[in-house]
Amino acid sequence: MESNGSPLPEIRYARNGGVAIAYQVVGEGDVDLVYVPEWTSNLVYWWEYPRWRNFYLRLARSFRLILFDKRGTGLSDHGGQFATLETRMEDLHAVLDAAGSSSPVIFGAHEGSTMAVLFAASYPERTRALVLFHARAKGSTFRTDAESASQYLARIRDGWGVEEWCDEIFSEVWPSLAASEDDRRWFANSIRVGASPAVAYALNRA
């Protein structure tokens, strides 16, 4: 399998309680770095997007880069009902064990920051450093009162993967790219292959 003419890094699976978590190892740096993705990811499809591919390759020039799809997203198993953050954090633990990584840099992005912080607090001896990108101490983007939360979740349930909703979210988050049809199309498809509507709803509700 190839991505834009280049071989796709081999996909392997770590297991936590019978649930398979897809991961990849890229590069041969002396220091390991595991990237904990945001809401969703897909280890095949994200390599096809030049912006993500270049980001991964740049990290892999300096680190032994470990990538994975979180439980219920991308190529990883769902495992029945939506798991707690603690269980999902142990998925990361299983990935690091499978990859032979004893003390990586933990790099968490957006929603993945919560898993990254919990791992670092639970396993300080397994954490070389903690890096957070676009993390929030509180839900500052969306009001946390019950009515606002209910409305937001309804938008997720009804709009996930629908082109108009994807375009709206894309324009809010990446306004500088909103005029690019190729970028908008990639984002919409990344939403669809990243998680099902039910998983997206559960993830955002959590």
pLDDT in tens, 108-132: 998 899 999 999 999 999 999 999 9
Are 130 and 158 members of one domain? no
Closest CA to 109 of 181, 169, 56: 56
How does pLDDT run across 28-53, given as a tens digit for each residue?
Answer: 999 999 999 988 999 999 999 999 99
CA 27 vs CA 64, 66, 150: distances in Å = 5, 9, 43
DSSP state letters, 54-119: HHHHHHHHHSEEEEEPPTTSTTS---SSPPPHHHHHHHHHHHHHHTT-SS-EEEEETTHHHHHHHH
Q: Over pLDDT 70: what percentage of the chain?
A: 93
Tallying the residues shown for the chain, one arrives at 206
SS3 7: strand
Using the 3D structure, point to which of 91, 115, 135 is the last residue of a domain.
135
Q: Is the pLDDT of residue 80 over 60?
A: yes
- What's the predicted TM-score (pTM) here? 0.88
Range of the domain at 78: 1-135
Are 7 and 87 members of one domain? yes
Are 126 and 164 members of one domain? no
User: How far is residue 161's CA from residue 164's CA, in Å, rounded to a whole number?
Assistant: 9
Using the 3D structure, point to which of 135, 154, 186 is the last residue of a domain.
135
Say what the pLDDT of residue 143 is. Answer: 52
Q: Is the pLDDT of residue 13 over 90?
A: yes
Number of domains in the chain: 2
Are 14 and 91 members of one domain? yes
Q: How confident is the model at residue 1 (pLDDT cuts 50, 70, 90)?
A: very low
Are 75 and 109 members of one domain? yes
Residue-averaged pLDDT of the chain: 89
User: How far is residue 138's CA from residue 46's CA, in Å, rounded to a whole number?
Assistant: 28
Using the 3D structure, point to which of 108, 135, 162 is the last residue of a domain.
135
Say what the pLDDT of residue 140 is. Answer: 47
User: How far is residue 204's CA from residue 206's CA, in Å, rounded to a whole number?
Assistant: 5
How does pLDDT run across 164-202, given as a tens digit for each residue?
Answer: 989 998 998 889 999 999 999 999 999 999 988 888 888
Are 26 and 117 members of one domain? yes
The terminus-to-terminus CA distance of the chain in angstroms comes to 34
CATH number for position 89: 3.40.50.1820
Burial of 69 (0-12, 13-18, 19+ CB in 10 A): buried
Are 125 and 154 members of one domain? no
Say what the pLDDT of residue 82 is. Answer: 75
User: How far is residue 190's CA from residue 177's CA, in Å, rounded to a whole number?
Assistant: 15
Closest CA to 192 of 159, 153, 150: 159
